[in-house]
A and B are shown apart, each in its own frame.
Chain A
Amino acid sequence: MSETYDFLFKFLVIGNAGTGKSCLLHQFIEKRFKEDSNHTIGVEFGSKIINVINKFVKLQIWDTAGQERFRSVTRSYYRGAAGALLVYDITSRETYNALTNWLTDARMLASQNIVIILCGNKKDLDADREVTFLEASRFAQENELMFLETSALTGENVEEAFVQCARKILNKIESGELDPERMGSGIQYGDAALRQLRSPRRAQAQSAQECGC
């Protein structure tokens, strides 16, 4: 394998059935809408390297099944996820109402520092909208989520959703809020050389802290 990257983040895509999770993933990776899409049974998987703040980040994305009864299976994927796209369908209030449940699962089972971006998908179907932008952004604010309305069909905001989520994780790493080396952080360094380069600085930062106290 010749691909090089600075970081690897594990991502999850969660949300009710039929909200377009797999289509979002497909649009993100293949840059086109998947017309004849099968529903996801269990889990699907995709990965892509993106460039965020001058760093190459490999996203390893787990796309989960949305049907209620698959919830017990989906739960087994939360461990060690660094980021998640929580997806609802703007034309279906039911999928929006279910967000609280999804959020509870994510907060309980994923790492504490998981960065979640709320995606109101099917933005192109504005005529059938049942959930307003304002309402959802309020919900996002209350729950400390980032928020975007996306369209897997046109591709609008799809890349942005993944990139924004990755950017926030990178920021957290830079600020020291997230420690990539902690077990279950969902983050790995790309290669050993980079890690060595980084360690002295980390050590410095640590000693600086120690001095502080």
Chain B
Amino acid sequence: MRRRSSCCSVGVKRATRRCIDSSRFDEFGFALSGKRDLQGRCHQYSYPQPNSSQVKELCELLSYWNGSSAACRSQIERFMRMGIPPVLRGRVWRCLLNIDTLRETSKFSYQKCLREVRGSLIDLGLSEYGILSAIAMLNDARDENPSPFLQAGTMSSSEVAVLRQIALDLRRSFPTHRSLMGDTPEAIEGQAKLFRVLIAYARYNPQVGYSQGMSHIGAVLLMNLPEEEAFWALVALLESPKYISGLFDRSLDRVWHQVQVFHQLLKHRSPRLFQHIEDVGVSSLHYAIPWFLSVFTSLPCWDSVLAIWDLIMLQGMLALFRVGLSIVQLLEPQLLQMKDEALVLPLLLHVPVEVAQHCVLIQALWNTEVQEWEVDCMNSLVLEEARDDSHHLRQAAESASAIQTRSQKKQEESTVRTAKSSNTARWAVKASFLRMLKKAQHYLGSAGRGQAKDQKTPLATHANPSLLDSYKARPAFFIKGAQVGRVA
């Protein structure tokens, strides 16, 4: 009840806060700097503000929220189009990510984990509040002659490496946000919170550990949720195939795969622009990996970032593809005029405010539909191309042992050439075929799911490492045992 009444006065509250903080920070907590923001951040927001009856309606929806109900989900999408009020965002995310259930059903205890981490830190002579100053000490600990701290055996060297990397990144994630900026008590606490959430996740899933990019995700969650909920939100996002579990793993194979899927989507949706970007010499890899791994938090307009995140909580990877397509398509006129890699890449890496602002980008995002079957299709295509390529390469390698080097080389070249030339034609046929197949599968239930997984195994187990290396040189076709990210 209290919550509802407080939500209804959202507009008033924000108005007053705007006045108080306007001297140093904007309404989302980013430092206002002189004439031009060093980070290129825009502080003029254009997100829509729903009226009080709409806000009331949203509060009601959240009070009887049921994550598995399709009606609830389509309702929430309607509110997202209207714009989620910042004060309600935490509640919306908690509902969408089903945090409460996740926490209750998990065997993992956040508090217990923190106690263990603190214990290890004490053994190392550190504290979560002094991680940065301790980096030098951690360096010692990694030397060939381990320091007495490590000999105590509380932390393995890989754990120390994770600890060190997180510590390095604490000050380098949103360095102009009030909760992380400088040495104020608020920032010291903010960095300690971020450290705890990230180290706990690294312990929750040691297979993934910590990857650069996660500190941004953790920080955005902490800006909108209390610490422990932020941790569970991170777990939900990175563990469930519904969200963005297709992004992080130890080797970055997963994100590589997703970028290939995006690459195909773009090729399919905007063939002319796609070709232009390729001709200039920019690969999707160069800009889409930073976009995806930082979950678009590098965009200069924070209201847009939050709206994108709302959609990610609803649609997972599908939302990332939609955003990526929207940005590239909005930049199309500018990109088509650019003939130089040195102009194209910076534009894609640092999307200008005119395109990233809420009233432009988010509008375009809602108009850019990507269907699940489309993504499934591209997934299969990427896997198939990788398999075909590995097959061709393997054949070439096998023939190399039998035939003399020279003739083998010719054959290899011709294999690659035919593969390339037939690629375009094959693509068109395959795409329509796969689309039909997928549609059929959709109606017949999920019979095709196992199939895609099977494709992963032969490549991962039989592929010769040297062949994989030659793959890496050809990003457009490369995929190394990437996990089939089923997009929910």
Given contacts A45-B342, A69-B252, A130 and B175 within 8 Å (CB-CB): no
Flag if A37 contacts B175 (CB, 8 Å).
Answer: yes
A53 located at the interface, meaning its Cβ lies under 8 Å from any Cβ of chain B in the complex: no
Flag if A76 contacts B472 (CB, 8 Å).
Answer: yes
Residue of B165, B212, B294 most packed against chain A (CB within 10 A): B212
Q: Can you list, as one digit per residue, whether each of A3-42 has a CB less than 8 Å from chain B (1) or not (0)?
A: 0000000000000011000000000000000111111111
Q: Can you list, as one digit per residue, whether each of B334-346 has a CB less than 8 Å from chain A (1) or not (0)?
A: 0000001110011
Stretch at the interface among A87-95, A137-145, A148-156: A87-95
Q: Separation in Å of the B166 CB from the closest CB of chain A?
A: 11
CA distance A73 to B286 in the complex (A): 9
CA distance A1 to B283 in the complex (A): 23
- B283 to chain A: closest residue by CB: A76
| Neighbour of A43 across the interface among B142, B176, B290, B294, CB < 8 A | B290
Contacting residues, chain A, for B165 (C-beta < 8 A): 17, 67
Given contacts A36-B38, A36-B39, A65-B212, A92 and B168 within 8 Å (CB-CB): no
Q: Separation in Å of the A19 CB from the closest CB of chain B?
A: 10
CA distance A36 to B175 in the complex (A): 5
Residue of A44, A45, A79, A91 most packed against chain B (CB within 10 A): A45
Flag if B168 contacts A17 (CB, 8 Å).
Answer: yes
Q: Separation in Å of the A15 CB from the closest CB of chain B?
A: 13
Given contacts A38-B298, A39-B168, A44 and B252 within 8 Å (CB-CB): no
Q: Separation in Å of the B43 CB from the closest CB of chain A?
A: 15
- A34 to chain B: closest residue by CB: B38
Flag if B139 contacts A94 (CB, 8 Å).
Answer: yes
Q: Separation in Å of the A82 CB from the closest CB of chain B?
A: 14
B368 located at the interface, meaning its Cβ lies under 8 Å from any Cβ of chain A in the complex: no
Flag if B139 contacts A130 (CB, 8 Å).
Answer: yes
Given contacts A18-B168, A38-B175, A67-B165, A45 and B139 within 8 Å (CB-CB): no
B136 located at the interface, meaning its Cβ lies under 8 Å from any Cβ of chain A in the complex: yes
| Neighbour of A41 across the interface among B38, B181, B212, B285, CB < 8 A | B212
CA distance A92 to B135 in the complex (A): 9
Q: Separation in Å of the A211 CB from the closest CB of chain B?
A: 32
Flag if A45 contacts B251 (CB, 8 Å).
Answer: no
B475 located at the interface, meaning its Cβ lies under 8 Å from any Cβ of chain A in the complex: yes
Q: Can you list, as one digit per residue, whether each of B151-192 has a CB less than 8 Å from chain A (1) or not (0)?
A: 000000000010001001100111110000100000000000
B444 located at the interface, meaning its Cβ lies under 8 Å from any Cβ of chain A in the complex: no
Q: Separation in Å of the B242 CB from the closest CB of chain A?
A: 23
| Neighbour of A42 across the interface among B139, B289, B473, CB < 8 A | B289
Flag if A41 contacts B290 (CB, 8 Å).
Answer: yes
Contacting residues, chain A, for B142 (C-beta < 8 A): 94
A54 located at the interface, meaning its Cβ lies under 8 Å from any Cβ of chain B in the complex: no
Q: Can you list, as one digit per residue, whether each of B409-440 has a CB less than 8 Å from chain A (1) or not (0)?
A: 00000000000000000000000000000000
B250 located at the interface, meaning its Cβ lies under 8 Å from any Cβ of chain A in the complex: yes
Flag if A36 contacts B181 (CB, 8 Å).
Answer: yes
B90 located at the interface, meaning its Cβ lies under 8 Å from any Cβ of chain A in the complex: no
Q: Separation in Å of the B456 CB from the closest CB of chain A?
A: 18
Residue of B161, B172, B216, B340 most packed against chain A (CB within 10 A): B172
CA distance A79 to B168 in the complex (A): 29
B315 located at the interface, meaning its Cβ lies under 8 Å from any Cβ of chain A in the complex: no
Flag if B285 contacts A39 (CB, 8 Å).
Answer: no
Flag if B473 contacts A79 (CB, 8 Å).
Answer: yes
Flag if A45 contacts B173 (CB, 8 Å).
Answer: no
CA distance A40 to B165 in the complex (A): 13
B233 located at the interface, meaning its Cβ lies under 8 Å from any Cβ of chain A in the complex: no
B213 located at the interface, meaning its Cβ lies under 8 Å from any Cβ of chain A in the complex: yes
B447 located at the interface, meaning its Cβ lies under 8 Å from any Cβ of chain A in the complex: no
Given contacts A41-B213, A73-B289, A36 and B345 within 8 Å (CB-CB): no
Other A-B pairs beyond A1-B340, A79-B473, 14, CB < 8 Å:
A34-B38, A36-B38, A38-B173, A39-B173, A41-B216, A41-B294, A42-B286, A42-B289, A43-B286, A43-B289, A45-B342, A65-B212, A72-B252, A130-B139
A-B contact pairs, 6 of them (CB 8 A): A42-B290, A67-B165, A75-B472, A76-B472, A91-B136, A130-B139
Q: List the 7 closest A-B pairs by CB distance, nearest first.
A: A36-B175, A42-B290, A39-B172, A42-B289, A18-B168, A41-B290, A67-B212
